[in-house]
Amino acid sequence: MLQGSDLACVRGDRNLFKAVNFILKDGGLMQVNGPNGSGKTSLLRILCGLSAPAAGKITWNGKSVRTLGEAYYSELVYIGHLSGTKDDLTALENLRISSAFSGENISEHQAVEALVDMGLGGREHLPAKVLSQGQRRRVALARLLVSKAKLWILDEPLAALDVSAIQLVKNLLERHLKENGMIVMTTHQDIDMTAASIVQLQLT
Amino acid sequence: MLQGSDLACVRGDRNLFKAVNFILKDGGLMQVNGPNGSGKTSLLRILCGLSAPAAGKITWNGKSVRTLGEAYYSELVYIGHLSGTKDDLTALENLRISSAFSGENISEHQAVEALVDMGLGGREHLPAKVLSQGQRRRVALARLLVSKAKLWILDEPLAALDVSAIQLVKNLLERHLKENGMIVMTTHQDIDMTAASIVQLQLT
Amino acid sequence: MAINWYKYASPASFYSLAGRMIPFFAILAFGLLVAGLYIGFFVAPTDFQQGEAYRIIFIHVPAAWMSMFLYVVMALWAGIGLAFNTRLSSMMATAIAPTGAMFTFVALWTGSLWGKPMWGTWWVWDARLTSELILLFLYIGFMSLQAAIDDPRRADKAGAIIALVGVINIPIIYFSVQWWNTLHQGASVSVTQAPTMASTMLTGMMVMVFAAWMYAIAVILKRVRVIILERERHTAWVSELNERGAL
Amino acid sequence: MFFWIVQRDLLLAMRRRSDVLTTLFFFVIVVSLFPLSVGPEMNMLRMMAPGVVWVAALLASMLSLGRLFSNDYLDGTLEQMLLSSQSLSILVLGKALAHWLVTGVPLVLMAPVLGIQYDLPVDALFVLTTSLLLGTPVLSLIGAIGAALTLGLRGGGVLVSLLVLPLYIPVLIFGAGSVEADMAGLDYDAHLSLLGAFLLVSIVFAPWAAASSLRVSME
Amino acid sequence: MFFWIVQRDLLLAMRRRSDVLTTLFFFVIVVSLFPLSVGPEMNMLRMMAPGVVWVAALLASMLSLGRLFSNDYLDGTLEQMLLSSQSLSILVLGKALAHWLVTGVPLVLMAPVLGIQYDLPVDALFVLTTSLLLGTPVLSLIGAIGAALTLGLRGGGVLVSLLVLPLYIPVLIFGAGSVEADMAGLDYDAHLSLLGAFLLVSIVFAPWAAASSLRVSME
Amino acid sequence: MDWSNWSEFLAMGGYGIYVWGSYLVTFACVIGEILLIFKRRRTLVKRYGQIFDANGEDTSYQDDKTAV
Ligand code: HEM
Ligand SMILES: Nc1ncnc2c1ncn2[C@@H]1O[C@H](COP(=O)(O)OP(=O)(O)OP(=O)(O)O)[C@@H](O)[C@H]1O
Ligand SMILES: Nc1ncnc2c1ncn2[C@@H]1O[C@H](COP(=O)(O)OP(=O)(O)OP(=O)(O)O)[C@@H](O)[C@H]1O
Ligand SMILES: [Mg+2]
Ligand SMILES: [Mg+2]
């Protein structure tokens, strides 16, 4: 269970948000909505523990994520604006290495399978820098296919994807939710998701 | 009039497209569609003269763009995946300088107005690096507001924008078309545009 | 005639032409090498100043000359490739670089082995030696730049620019002797020797120079053939050759 | 347009004042490292001085080459410059000038102070400063070619050194040589005029070569 | 995990073999620059040699620091590493080891050859190599702290020098000092044991400091 | 000519190590260079065999298309 209580975020001399409260249960989806610059990315980074909130605290199963540290990280996958793909490594290597970081050593076979599922079949061995914007994004998202983490935090996962890829990702997310996973995500695109519980968090 | 005849593009050992033909007239819009990795970005860069096609040629008012060179560039605005915004400069400076590159020296007043129109009022003097993804994109697009160029080439202009910004950009594009401008664009999002003539180019 | 030239400017026909020329140059190189070594070790007399150590000259001088000459030729091909967008010339430039670097290294190595007995030190920071070292860096720079770029077309053009800019260093190698006081001898061997004796040495040296030339041509042609294959793998003629088993 | 570029690059440098300062401190630190590692004999230090100052200037200038185009490349500004209605050579010249103003000029101003640390006589200091004044713009100009060629290549920072150093060497030899000539009581005019000639040649050719390299790198 | 990191970084280095080579050649070129600018007297060169080689090794190692984290930072891998379930210090140690294998080891191997150019006697060459073998890992480890601290700062490449050079200086002094002691016929053991001590201390503390710096830089 | 025996030839008047050191390294370089080229070529030809085998269907497919 991920819980945020009374979260506030200050950037420069601007109060992005305050008194943000939410509870996210197993199988629950939280969509963070709001116009450009309303603080969605900032909130997500706070949830990951990448930056500290100005006030309030975040707990994971009742314990503060700050004190949990690595125990929390091992249950978490964060995919941000930047896709974390290495220009010089191939799609395959990128996937295997980024999975290894979250403690999941996947075999080459598994990785190839995930890439093929993401529509990158035949491009596994191309260096990421020659891939198109959408393909790079797919490589990053392929991590979700092989991840065993419970909590997915996704910042605009649909950006740069074409229609078929969006459908793919949507199915993937719904499967994760069905398997009792949790998702926090932002997106500016309309996407209808079914989930046991959906929290809509509106930032302004 | 922008005309492409028999264009082909090869990347690595992959033929992205060949025999692409189109004619774009004054007031015309060309939408380049296709799934991820189908070569949209590659085509747009070729149209700008940033890279050379493997075969075929592009003419602007009957003359090859390769020989026209700077005369062509002065009638062209290209906004790619990367927005060309400098992290360390403020939104205002970014806009003035990027306009200056295309030979349009705009006054501070004009620039502020354009930024306010793009919904960045009150953030003109923030360095671009603290802006949100969508706000950075808005800074880049603000150039269109002050540009006198005839041909706009836009690679996913709507990425990262929120709903209101998309409406804003749509209006802007339609105004340009009405004033006899020409637009070549790609997008994975649905956008209904009215124009004197619309060319749909489908890449596979 | 003109048509002929065009024909051989295409990688496909050059590939087979080069294939036919290689044995000729290789045999010539080998013959000259054997003759040169025979003259060098069994005909040329002992130098009364340097003793037998001078026999290094038979490789040192050819290697030193080739190193400079090949650079100019490489820059020339690269320049032609850049100006006229002819793929083959750029491939020639790429093929020349490793051989040029090899000769440069050999000139440095033999020079330094010669320097120990003659000057009492492996290395001095003398003008000619230093500029030869710079030449090695230029070759390496050219090759690393090309290796760092994946797209062959871009690699060709980028390499051509740096090769052309680097040509400035060739006259520096030549004229630097006048700018510094130098240990390295500028005069040719004949100064220390009676004319008749010197002439056998000189002959030996010149035969070795020709051997080096022929070797360089053979090796470069061989390498350019590989490069052509690498670059033209998607063309019909390569797959045709491949099917005939005639790669 | 030329002035826009220069002004913009200077503005960026001012935003990041640390850049200017760090190049300068790098220069100072390298020059000051040598007495530490070589030992304190004054006579030897004095003989080393011109060489060390010149090598340090060269390294400092070279290290800052990475910034010359790569930032503009990464954020897409360079694409915009290629599509500018202005001649690309002029843009490159502007960027090289800005680079020199930001990295070269502080070195030139600092050199006499460092020279004093090595106990150089006054007229040697003068020659040292003049030679740097003529030589550092050449470094920026030649450097622009290297920076343009290695754009977007991983490890470009070190690759650029490899490409550019051999070309820097003549500048180094005549720069340091002029001071040594002066200290040996010889005439240093020839050295300085050669540096001047290098400067002219590179002003004419380097922007053009760098502009072509940029086009090649951006394909 | 440690091995994953080392292996990954080595893999990246192999992909870009030019990186390894260019650091090495940078080292070679810097060492070769000095005689050019100082002049060819052998006696003086021999005295300068240990200092020059050490300064060059230090600069070469320092310059490649830029690559240590920044690539991982720019493309978001570093964020992923911070979120890794492994101790960050171990990751940093792995990256520093890979950095040393890629940049330090080639320098150590190359140093004797360069020493010959400066006409160093054989036992001085041996001491030089040993001192580099002990000293260069320290450079990589300390460098990791600097690289972590300057992460994402514009002009980091030069800023990192500024932070790291003062910490490098003791290594430089004792490294070059050991060779000079040997050439002066003195005992060099003390110098080398000190270098060894530096190495131990930095293996213990540097990864931890760099890991904390990374967390600070990524906030 | 004036080498009376092998050992004298090898000694090169006391300069053997320098002379033979030069010649040996030179020939090592030459032979190494040749071997490298041959190796590069061999790996290439081997790889092409595979590539073209795999593409066998590909080319026939193209032929079909032009026929239609
Ligand atoms: C590492 C050391 C050396 C290097 C890099 C080197 C480099 C060169 C170069 C570049 C040339 C061709 C330049 C020209 O022909 O004008 C040359 C020629 C020559 N070198 Fe060296 N050299 C070295 C050591 C020596 C030594 C130790 C000797 C003899 C004591 C020597 C004797 C010669 C001779 C006799 C020529 C032919 C000059 C002529 O007749 O034109 N070199 N060397
Ligand atoms: N130093 C600062 N001073 C003032 N405002 C700041 C400062 N730093 C950041 N901001 C503001 O904080 C906000 C950060 O927004 P964030 O990136 O979280 O937005 P977002 O909701 O993810 O937007 P988008 O939809 O565009 O991605 C922006 O509005 C930005 O202008
Ligand atoms: N060296 C290469 N070898 C093989 N394929 C390559 C190479 N370089 C590029 N490609 C392919 O070329 C295509 C380039 O696509 P481009 O960026 O033009 O796509 P796009 O239509 O803009 O896609 P997106 O919608 O994702 O932005 C990609 O499919 C990429 O995989
Ligand atoms: Mg955001
Ligand atoms: Mg695209």
Helix B163-178 to helix B133-146 angle (10° resolution) is 20
- Angstrom distance (rounded) from CA A78 to CA E218: 15
Amino acid E61 reads S
Query: Torsion over CA of D86, D90, D94 and D96, rounded to 10 degrees?
Result: 140
Contact list in F for residue C34 (CB cut-off 8 A) is none
Task: Name residues whose C-beta falls within 8 Å of residue B122's C-beta, 6 or more positions apart in sequence.
Answer: none
Dist. CA A189 → ligand 2 center (Å)? 19
Best interface-test mutation with D: which of E33, E103, E165 has the largest number of D CBs within 10 A? E33
Task: Name residues whose C-beta falls within 8 Å of residue C246's C-beta, 6 or more positions apart in sequence.
Answer: none
- Using left for φ > 0, alpha for ψ between -120 and 50, and beta otherwise, residue B103 falls in left
Ligand 3 pocket, mutate which of A123, A131, A162 (most atoms under 8 A from CB): A131
Max mean pLDDT range (A101-105, B160-164, E14-18): B160-164
Count CB neighbours of F58 within 10 A: 10
Q: How far does CA C82 lie from the centroid of its chain?
A: 21
- CB contact residues (below 8 A), chain C span 134-163, against chain E: 137, 140, 144, 147-148
What pLDDT does residue C190 have?
A: 39
Shortest distance between the Cα of D125 and any Cα of chain B, in A, equals 38
**pLDDT tens for residues E99-122?**
999 889 999 999 998 888 888 888
Helix (H/G/I), strand (E/B), else coil: B20: strand
Residues of chain D with pLDDT under 70: 154-157
In 3D space, the residue among B71, A97, C73, C9 whose CA is nearest the CA of residue E84 turns out to be A97
Considering its fold, how many domains does chain C have in total?
Answer: 1
- Angstrom distance (rounded) from CA E73 to CA D58: 29
Q: Which two tokens stand for residue D189?
A: 């005019």
Q: In what helix (H) or strand (E) does residue B14 lie, and over which residues does it extend?
A: strand B14-24
- Angstrom distance (rounded) from CA A59 to CA A43: 14
- Angstrom distance (rounded) from CA E148 to CA E168: 16
Let me know if residue C23 belongs to a domain.
no
Angle at E87 between CA E82 and CA E93, to 5 degrees: 95
DSSP code of residue B106: -
A141 and A118 Cβ atoms separated by less than 8 Å: yes
Count CB neighbours of A30 within 10 A: 22
Shortest distance between the Cα of A74 and any Cα of chain E, in A, equals 5
Dist. CA B119 → ligand 2 center (Å)? 13
Q: Which two tokens stand for residue C125?
A: 């920071």
Amino acid C73 reads V
* Three-state SS letters, A153-181: EEECCCCCCCHHHHHHHHHHHHHHHHCCC
CATH classification code of B1-75+150-204 = 3.40.50.300
Per-residue pLDDT of chain C (247 residues; tens, 9 = 90+): 444 555 667 888 888 888 899 999 999 999 999 999 998 888 887 777 777 788 888 999 999 999 999 999 999 999 999 998 888 999 999 999 999 999 999 999 999 888 888 888 777 777 778 788 889 989 988 998 898 887 888 899 999 999 999 888 777 766 766 665 556 765 444 344 444 446 888 888 999 999 999 999 999 999 999 999 888 877 788 878 877 777 7
ipTM of the predicted structure? 0.78
- Angstrom distance (rounded) from CA D217 to CA D148: 7
A25 and A180 Cβ atoms separated by less than 8 Å: no
Q: Which two tokens stand for residue C179?
A: 């700018």
- Residue-range domain boundaries for chain D: 2-218
Count CB neighbours of B122 within 10 A: 10
What pLDDT does residue F58 have?
A: 41
Q: Look at residue F65 and tell me whether its pLDDT is greater than 50.
A: no
Helix D122-149 to helix D156-183 angle (10° resolution) is 160
Helix (H/G/I), strand (E/B), else coil: C187: coil
Domain that holds residue C99: 34-43+55-185+198-243
Count CB neighbours of E191 within 10 A: 24
Q: Which two tokens stand for residue E211?
A: 């890991």
Contact list in C for residue F31 (CB cut-off 8 A) is none
Q: Point out the ligand nearest to the CA of residue A13.
A: 2
- Angstrom distance (rounded) from CA D194 to CA D135: 10
- Angstrom distance (rounded) from CA D194 to CA D131: 10
**Yes or no, beta carbons of D162 and E16 under 8 Å apart:** no
- Angstrom distance (rounded) from CA B147 to CA B157: 16
- Angstrom distance (rounded) from CA A188 to CA B157: 14
Contact list in E for residue A89 (CB cut-off 8 A) is 11-12, 15
- Angstrom distance (rounded) from CA A7 to CA A20: 5
Query: Along chain A (204 residues), what's the average pLDDT of each consecutive run of 10 residues?
Result: 93 89 93 93 90 91 86 87 76 85 82 93 87 92 91 92 93 94 92 87 90
What pLDDT does residue B145 have?
A: 92
**pLDDT tens for residues F3-60?**
777 777 777 777 888 888 899 999 999 999 999 999 999 888 887 776 665 554 443 3
Query: Torsion over CA of E163, E168, E173 and E174, rounded to 10 degrees?
Result: 150
Size of interface A-E (CB pairs under 8 A): 74
- Angstrom distance (rounded) from CA A32 to CA C223: 60
Length reported for chain A = 204
Sort strands A182-186 and A28-33 into parallel, antiparallel or unpaired: parallel
Cα separation of the two ends of chain B? 25
Q: In what helix (H) or strand (E) does residue A21 lie, and over which residues does it extend?
A: strand A14-24
- Angstrom distance (rounded) from CA B153 to CA A183: 36
- Angstrom distance (rounded) from CA C118 to CA E121: 18
User: Where does chain B have alpha helices with state H?
Assistant: 40-48, 65-68, 70-73, 91-101, 108-117, 133-146, 163-178
For chain C, what is the radius of gyration of the CA atoms?
Answer: 20
Q: Look at residue F66 and tell me whether its pLDDT is greater than 50.
A: no
Asked if A132 has any chain B CB less than 8 Å from its own CB, the reply is yes
- CB contact residues (below 8 A), chain D span 13-72, against chain E: 16, 18-19, 22-23, 25-26, 29-30, 33-34, 36-39, 44, 47-48, 50-52, 54-55, 58-59, 63-64, 66-67, 71
**pLDDT tens for residues A101-153?**
777 788 889 999 999 999 998 898 888 888 999 999 999 999 999 988 999 99
Question: Which residues lie at CB < 5 A from ion ligand 4?
Answer: A 41; B 132-133
What pLDDT does residue D160 have?
A: 86
Of the CA atoms within 13 Å of residue C202, those in its CB half-sphere come to 13
Amino acid D64 reads S
Strand partners, C51: C47
What pLDDT does residue A186 have?
A: 93
Helix C87-119 to helix C57-84 angle (10° resolution) is 160
Strand partners, A28: A197
Asked if B93 has any chain D CB less than 8 Å from its own CB, the reply is yes
- Angstrom distance (rounded) from CA C188 to CA C198: 10
Kindly report the backbone phi and psi dihedral angles of residue D152, in degrees, each rounded to the nearest multiple of 5, phi listed first: 80, 0
Q: Determine whether C186 is exposed, middle or buried from the number of CB atoms within 10 Å of its CB (0-12, 13-18, 19+).
A: exposed
Q: Whose CA is nearest to atom 4 of ligand 2?
A: A12
**Yes or no, beta carbons of D23 and E54 under 8 Å apart:** no
